[in-house]
Homo-oligomer: A and B are copies of this chain.
Amino acid sequence: MPAVAATQGRSAGKDPAARRRAGRPSAAVLDKAGITVAALALISRKGYDGLTMAALARSLDVAPSALYNHVSSKDDVLLLVEDHLVEMVDVSGFGAGPWDAAVRRWAWSYREVFAQHTPLIPIIAVLPVANAPKTLAMYEAVTAGFGAAGFPAEKTISAIVALEAFVFGAAYDVTAPADIFDAGTLAAQTPNFTAAVDRLAAEQHPRPADVAFSLGLEALITGFDTLRNR
């Protein structure tokens, strides 16, 4: 994002507040981990559009120029954020037990991480993985696990993309309001739907999103399991 960088360069030179900040010692302890945490906090508070290099520098109380010593653009920051989140996803099952158990562990932990960070889903779902080493490490572990389990190589990426699509979509469900399917004044016109919603409510699942996730994930695992060569 050269346009932003140019703006920052100017503001660091001309804005007296920025000059003051530039002299502070806090810049000395600035590192990628701190930038990542600050970026996540900013996105949580203000959404993706709220993450600008200027706002990030302000939230870290450093001059933009100090920030640019560590990351060269907003895209760089997003890669840090992606890597930070993906590192929390559990791939330990791959190569250490049955394939289905590994997929299950991976998908549940993946959904859990992104349910806490849904504003990032639209960005990370389409962010190229080059230069995101931990994200690539996750894909390598999953791909190797699929290969070792006899999954056909030409279908592995498509299967991973499908599982991730389900995980990302399901992460939103975790944050949905409890009354999302309440038909309100239109209930009389939607008898089948309303009865099904009532039927599910009667089961009093503490986390209905988990029921749907489990149902879909098990179907995907069972379906993909039939593709393996054994």
- A interface residues with partner B (beta carbon < 8 Å): 47, 49, 118-119, 121-122, 125-131, 133, 136-137, 139-140, 142-144, 146-147, 153-159, 161-170, 172-173, 175-177, 179-186, 189-193, 195-197, 199-200, 202-203, 208-209, 211-213, 215-216, 218-220, 222-224
Would you list 18 pairs from A and B whose C-beta atoms are within 8 A, ordered by A residue? A121-B122, A133-B189, A136-B186, A144-B193, A147-B196, A154-B202, A156-B200, A157-B197, A158-B211, A158-B212, A159-B215, A161-B208, A161-B212, A163-B216, A164-B169, A165-B166, A165-B213, A166-B169
Check B125–A173 contact: CB distance below 8 A.
Answer: yes
Chain B residues whose C-beta falls within 8 Å of the C-beta of A146 in the assembled complex: 196
* Known contacts A131-B186, A219-B219; is-contact A180 B126 (Cβ 8 Å): yes
Per a CB cutoff under 8 Å, which of B133, B142, B183, B203 touches A154? B203
Chain B residues whose C-beta falls within 8 Å of the C-beta of A156 in the assembled complex: 196, 199-200
Check B223–A181 contact: CB distance below 8 A.
Answer: no
Distance, CA A129 to CA B181, complexed state (A)? 6
Distance, CA A223 to CA B162, complexed state (A)? 15
Check A122–B118 contact: CB distance below 8 A.
Answer: yes
Chain B residues whose C-beta falls within 8 Å of the C-beta of A219 in the assembled complex: 162, 219-220, 222-224
Check B200–A158 contact: CB distance below 8 A.
Answer: yes
Distance, CA A197 to CA B168, complexed state (A)? 21
* Known contacts A130-B179, A130-B183, A189-B140; is-contact A165 B196 (Cβ 8 Å): no
Chain B residues whose C-beta falls within 8 Å of the C-beta of A169 in the assembled complex: 125, 164-170
* Known contacts A157-B181, A165-B173; is-contact A186 B133 (Cβ 8 Å): yes
Q: Which chain B residue has the least Cβ–Cβ distance from A201?
A: B157
A162 to chain B, nearest CB (A): 3
Check A193–B128 contact: CB distance below 8 A.
Answer: no
Chain B residues whose C-beta falls within 8 Å of the C-beta of A119 in the assembled complex: 122
Check B209–A161 contact: CB distance below 8 A.
Answer: yes
Q: Which chain B residue has the least Cβ–Cβ distance from A158?
A: B212
Chain B residues whose C-beta falls within 8 Å of the C-beta of A49 in the assembled complex: 47, 49
A28 to chain B, nearest CB (A): 30
Per a CB cutoff under 8 Å, which of B143, B159, B162, B209 touches A192? B143
A129 to chain B, nearest CB (A): 6
